[in-house]
Structure 1
Amino acid sequence: MKLTVIGGTGLIGSQVVQKLTAAGHEAVPAAPSTGVDLLTGDGLDQALAGADVVVNVANSPTFDEASLDFFRTTMTNLLAAGERAGVRHQVILSIVGVDQVPQLDYYRAKTLQEDLLRQGPTPYSIVRATQFFEFVNAIISWTSDDKTVRLPATRVQPMAAADVVNAVVEVSTAAPLNGIHNVAGPDVFALDELGRITLAAQHDDRAVVTDDGAGLFAAVTGDVLIAGPDAHLAPTHYQDWVQSAR
């Protein structure tokens, strides 16, 4: 099977390419560095030539309102190029609970991407994943100084990027779902608690202050970022991962 991986040089995409190749598939990475511009469509026809499946894990360069235009344009271009190429399955990576947080520009943009895919001409699958372990330090950095880290008590269920990759590969090499496959980590944390676990593992003595107005995830209420009972739970626990990462 030939699969073109859009965003195939990034954190998730590069691992998807490696795993598909190891399984005997022809996996073609497509990114600006390979001559593919999703916003203009340049290079897309060449990248999709002969592809059975398109796996889209490309991300917007910003998380603000501009992300709406990014996903609107890139999804439209990719669907059109896929139809021209005779692609039989379009797959995107999205976020658990993404359609329940309209107050966040980026989540509205990803919801738009999902909607465009559903309305498109090609059978599709949506892999919704929870937040990645690899992004926890970035989340901490948004609202921290030399002495304290301020985090809301938003409930999250993070997972390892490697487990996200496994889910994307599994869905991409199977029949189109024409629906959603939810994946999440095995454990639920309050975000402030996750911050304390992370700092302790890194021997960082800063204090975590619970502040329900701090950072991007302050806009999220309730359990919208927690996977439902239909989700596949990945095997990697955060406490194990953060110790090995250190």
Structure 2
Amino acid sequence: MKLTVIGGTGLIGSQVVQKLTAAGHEAVPAAPSTGVDLITGKGLDQALEGAEVVVNLANSPTFDEASLDFFRTSMNNLLAAGERAGVRHQVILSIVGVDQVPQLDYYRAKALQEDLLRQGPTPYSIVRSTQFFEFMDAVVFWTSDDTTVRLPSTRLQPIAAADVVDAVVDVSTGTPLRGIRNIAGPDVFPLDELGRVTLAAQQDNRTVITDDKAGMFAGVTGDVLIAGPDAHLAPTHYQDWIQTAR
């Protein structure tokens, strides 16, 4: 099977390409570095030529309101190019709870991407993932100084990027879901507690202060970012991963 992986040089995309290739598929990475521009459409037709499946793992360069234009334009261009190429399955990676956090520009943008895919001409699958383990360092950095890290108590159910890759490969090589598959890690943490676990594992002596007004997830309440009972739970535990991540 030939699959074009949009964003195929990134954290998830490069591993998806490797896994698909190892399984005997023809996986073509498509990214700015390979001459593909999702916004202008340059290189898209060539990248999708002969592809049965498009796996869209491209990400917006910003998390602010500009991300709405990025996902609107890129999704529309990709759907049109896929229809021209005769693609039979379009897959995107999205976020658990994405349609329940309208106060976050980036989440609204991803919800728009999902809506455009559903309304498009091609059978589709949406893989919704919780937050990646690998993003925790950035989450800590955003709200830290030399002595403290301020984090809200927002409940998360994080997942290892490698487990996300496995889920994306499984869905991409299967029958279109025409719906959503939710994936998550096996454990739920308040974000402030997750910060403490992370700093302890890194032998970082800074203090985590619970501040529900701090950072990107400030104001996100309840369990909207937690996977529901229908979710596919990945095997990797954060406490095990963080010990080997350095």
Normalised by the length of structure 2, the TM-score is 1.00
Question: Aligned pair 1:17/2:39, yes or no?
Answer: no
Note if 1:112 corresponds to 2:112: yes
Contact 1:104 1:219 survives alignment (8 Å): no
CA RMSD of aligned residues (A): 0.3
The correspondence of residues 120-159 of structure 1 with structure 2, limited to 5 A, is: 120-159=120-159
CA deviations over 1:75-94 (Å, ceiling 9, x no partner):
00000000000000000000
- Could you say which residue in structure 2 is the equivalent of 1:84? 84
The separation in 1 between residues aligned to 2:220 and 2:136, in whole angstroms, is 16
Q: What does residue 183 of structure 1 align with?
A: 183
* Equivalent position amino acid for 1:193 in 2: E
Distance apart, 1:146 and its partner CA: 0.2
> CA-to-partner distance for each residue in 1:32-90, whole Å, 9 max, x for gaps?
00000000000000000000000000000000000000000000000000000000000
Deviation of 1:15 after TM superposition, in Å, equals 0.2
Deviation, 1:4, is: 0.1
Q: Distance in 2 between matches of 1:238 and 1:35?
A: 36
Identity of aligned residues (%): 85
Distance 1:112 1:147 in 2: 39
2:218 aligned partner: 218
The alignment's TM-score, normalised by the length of structure 1, stands at 1.00
Spell out, residue by residue over 1:102-131, the C-alpha distance to the aligned partner (whole angstroms, 9 max, x if none). Answer: 000000000000000000000000000000
1:166 counterpart residue number: 166
Worse-matched range after superposition: 54-63 or 217-226: 217-226
Distance across 2 between alignment mates of 1:170 and 1:4: 15
What do the CA deviations read for 1:156-206 (whole angstroms, capped 9, x no partner)? 000000000000000000000000000000000000000000000000000
Secondary structure (helix, strand or coil) at the match of 1:138 reads helix
Counterpart-to-counterpart distance in 2, 1:220 and 1:52: 38
Q: Which amino acid aligns with 1:233?
A: L
Aligned equivalents of 1:243, 1:217: Cα separation in 2: 25
Q: Distance in 2 between matches of 1:187 and 1:75?
A: 32
| Alignment-mate amino acid for residue 180 of structure 1 | I
Structure 1 spans left out of the alignment, 5+ residues: none
Q: After TM superposition, where is structure 1 displaced by more than 3 Å over at least 4 residues in a row?
A: none
Task: Answer yes or no: is the 8 Å Cα contact 1:100–1:224 preserved in 2.
Answer: yes
Amino acid of the structure 1 residue aligned with 2:240:
D
Q: CA deviation at 1:219?
A: 2.6
| Correspondence list, 1:33-52, <5 A | 33-52=33-52
